[in-house]
Structure formats: C-alpha cells, structure tokens
Amino acid sequence: MTDIFDPIRYEGVRRPLLDAVSLPPWCYTSDAFYRREVDAILTRSWNLVGRVDEIPNPGDYRVFDLCGRSAIVVRGADGEVRALANTCRHRGTRLLDDSGHCRAIICPYHAWTYRFDGSLSGCRGMEKTRGFEKADHGLAPIRLGIWAGFIFVCFSDESPDLGTWLGDLPEQFGSYRFETFELVRRRHYDLDCNWKLYIENAMEDYHTPTVHRSSIGLQETDLIETVGEWDSIHMESEDTMAVLPGDTTPFPHVEGLEGRPASGDSFTVLYPTTFFGTTKDCMWWLQTIPDGPRRCRVIQGSCFPASTVARSDFGEHVGKYYRRWDKSIPEDNAISERQQAGLESPAAASGRLSVHEPVVHSFANWVLDRTIGRS
Ligand code: FES
Ligand SMILES: [Fe+2]
C-alpha cells in the first residue's frame, strides 16, 4: 500500500461534510495507523475512569488500563483522589488489578509497601543498600482531573489540563449538577471492532430507525456549538429518553435544568473515547478502551441524582432503564462489529456522508489533525 500517512490520501475526508467521504478502511484495520493513534491521541488525551462516589473511602481504588499504560486511582487518608503509576519502584511489578479496597498498596513480589499518596512506607531487606532513600522511590504520579464527580486521567504531561480540554462543556451541562449524581450500575462489553466505529455510531442518529427499530426507534438531532475537545447533538423531548417507548416512570426530572438540558436530551462525545448520554432524569456514559485496531472494551456507567436513588421505589422502577440500555446497547454493539467485518474486505472503500452524520465527519477530522496533519 502507498504511504497511509500521506495527507493527500485524506483530501476527501477534509472537505466540508456534504462534499466529504468517511475515513478510509485502513484507519480501522491497520496496525500502523493504530500505533500512530496510540502515540498521537490515546495516550495524550483525558479519559474517563469512573465516579468519585465509586471510591468513597480512603483505600478505595480502581485500576485504569489504556494502551499499555496503567493507573491506580485511589482515595487517600486525606480524602484526596490521586492517580499513581501501577508499577513497583523496586523491579517493576504490576501492583493492583480491577477495583477494591486496601489498607496500603503492597507489591505482590517482595512486599514493598506504598501509602495512598504514592510514598514508599516499607521495603524490608533494603537496609544495607547504599545510598537508598525511601523518599526517592515513591510511585510516579499520573495526571488526574475531576469534573462534577467524574474522574479523568491523562498519561501525558504535555497535554492541556482537563479544564481546557472540557472547554465550555461544564457550563453547557452545569444545570444537571452531576456532582449530586451517583453511579448505580457498571457494565462492560468486549467487542470486535475499532474504537472509532463505536464512537461514530454513538454520535449519529442516521442508524436509529433501522438498528433500533424494535427498541428506541427514530431519533432526530441537531449539532450544537461547542468550545473544547467535544461535540454534541441535541434532541428535543418532553420526557426521559432512558426508558423504552411505552414505559413510564415516576422518577422526577433533575431539578433546576436550564437551557438545552431543559428542552431535551444530548449525545455528547468528549474526544476521543468518552460518550455521555444525558436526559431529563439521569445520565449514562460509555468509555471505549481501545485494544488494537480491531478490538475494544466498552464500559457503560448509569448515574441518577442521589435524591432519586434514595427513593423507596427506586429499586422497583430502575429496571425499566436497565431494560432500555440492555436492549439498545447490544444493538449498537452488534452493528459496530458487523461494520468492522465489512471494512475488512479488500473491496471496502471510503463512502459519502449524509446530513445526519456531522460528528462522524468532525471526529474523522479531529483524528486526522492529530495523526496526519494537513498537506
Ligand atoms: S518488584 Fe515490587 S517489591 Fe520487588
Ligand atoms: Fe445506536
């Protein structure tokens, strides 16, 4: 194949939406393109780890793995949430997996022991080692940012801070007061598709009358203006979109919604890998974790206002929301894997885009800006 990093090959993607084509198939199948994305995008961006309410107590932790990097996100004795490199300062062993609670971070190899701020507190057997100072051997910090109860990490020290990355997203979504929400359920899915296909699907309404014909059905959205590394499409609606048509729910709308959040629902991508679905009474997120060009893991979190979770009838009615997500998300998963299968064909080629796919187009260009640059 001729050079896949030559900007000339992407001129069609660079045109305005209604003149443009989609990214070429190799952007979803090539190891070389994926490696470029890892270096230029994935390890340089802010990625959603989860919620502060998932780790409420000192010693509660969650491990976040992305493209060979690993962070321990842990709440300290002082209440602060920090991210630490998940690699022992003795001879490099991975320290923790998944999530849980610990009294200290103890290496499973020779039991070096770290406090939740990363400092080394115990290292038996090192007494005779010349010039060894515990203070020099703490776990490396990783950049962490919190917005409205959502925890993000970034594996690069050179990227802009989280506030710059988010731009005016906190302002546009401020009236939800997500900091008063709680995560009630996490799900994950391992998929045979490129991570970008998943985000593209989540950010266009063109597929809804076909892929979701027996669940949520047609959704009609408009692109909104944003500042920062995000895009969003908005759909007018009177009530929640997080239950199936015909299901009703007694849960109240979020109090004090203003502006666009008061008039409907939003589908939002925080580039590159995080999606938020926001509606009148709850929100959900999808975090894609790329694993090579042809695989990704998708983690879904469901959040409701704490006041709704505290209702005596919450358990009775939340199942309607789970039914909706557990029907529509597998529909999106299946079509994304099917799209990947088609893109593997030697006959696959870039295709023209519709007026319903503005974020597919802007996402492609966001990716190209960082991986290829302009000719
Ligand atoms: S590698 Fe961790 S204590 Fe030896
Ligand atoms: Fe969908």
pTM above 0.95, yes or no: yes
For residue 95, give the ligand nearest its CA. 1
Check if 132 has its Cβ closer than 6 Å to any atom of ligand 1: no
The set of residues, in sequence order, having a beta carbon less than 8 Å from that of 79 and lying 6+ positions away, is 58
Q: What does the alpha-carbon distance between residue 358 and residue 344 come to, in Å, rounded to a whole number? A: 24
105 Cα to the center of ligand 1, angstroms? 11
- Residue 89 CA: which ligand 1 atom is closest? 2
160 Cα to the center of ligand 1, angstroms? 33
Check if 114 has its Cβ closer than 6 Å to any atom of ligand 1: no
Give the mean model confidence (pLDDT) for residues 127-134. 97
Tokens of 352: 């023209």
User: Are 357 and 17 in contact, with CB atoms under 8 Å apart?
Assistant: yes
Residue holding tokens 């939002």? 268
High-pLDDT (> 90) share of the chain, %: 96
Residue among 37, 18, 19, 17 at smallest CA distance from 27: 37
- Residue 111 CA: which ligand 1 atom is closest? 3
- What pLDDT band is residue 224 in, cutting at 50, 70 and 90? very high
Nearest protein CA to atom 3 of ligand 1, as residue: 110
247 Cα to the center of ligand 2, angstroms? 19
Check if 107 has its Cβ closer than 6 Å to any atom of ligand 1: yes
For residue 203, give the ligand nearest its CA. 2
Whether the per-residue pLDDT at 372 is higher than 90: the answer is yes
Whether the per-residue pLDDT at 347 is higher than 90: the answer is yes
pLDDT at residue number 96? 98
Nearest protein CA to atom 4 of ligand 1, as residue: 110
Give the mean model confidence (pLDDT) for residues 302-327. 97
pLDDT at residue number 128? 97
Kindly give the residue spans of alpha helices, DSSP state H, lying in the chain.
11-14, 31-40, 162-166, 169-172, 195-202, 208-211, 260-263, 306-309, 314-343, 358-371
Q: Which residue from 72, 84, 86, 91 has its CB within 8 A of the most atoms of ligand 1, so it is best to mutate? A: 91
- Residue 88 CA: which ligand 1 atom is closest? 2
- Residue 91 CA: which ligand 1 atom is closest? 1
pLDDT at residue number 219? 85
116 Cα to the center of ligand 1, angstroms? 17
Give the mean model confidence (pLDDT) for residues 223-241. 95
Domain 7-44+174-371, what fold?
Naphthalene 1,2-dioxygenase Alpha Subunit; Chain A, domain 1 (3.90.380)
Strands 296-305 and 283-290, bridge-based pairing: antiparallel
CATH code for the structural domain at 47-158: 2.102.10.10
pLDDT at residue number 254? 97
- What pLDDT band is residue 351 in, cutting at 50, 70 and 90? very high
pLDDT at residue number 1? 58
What ranges do the domains of the chain cover? 7-44+174-371, 47-158
Check if 88 has its Cβ closer than 6 Å to any atom of ligand 1: yes
For residue 111, give the ligand nearest its CA. 1
Check if 101 has its Cβ closer than 6 Å to any atom of ligand 1: no
- What pLDDT band is residue 283 in, cutting at 50, 70 and 90? very high
User: Are 287 and 299 in contact, with CB atoms under 8 Å apart?
Assistant: yes
User: Are 123 and 134 in contact, with CB atoms under 8 Å apart?
Assistant: yes
Give the mean model confidence (pLDDT) for residues 42-61. 98
Model confidence pLDDT, tens digit, residues 192-211: 999 999 999 999 999 999 99
Mean pLDDT for the chain?
97
Question: What sign does the dihedral 242-99-146-52 (CA atoms) show?
Answer: positive
pLDDT at residue number 214? 87
178 Cα to the center of ligand 2, angstroms? 23
Check if 109 has its Cβ closer than 6 Å to any atom of ligand 1: yes
137 Cα to the center of ligand 1, angstroms? 12
Nearest protein CA to atom 1 of ligand 1, as residue: 91
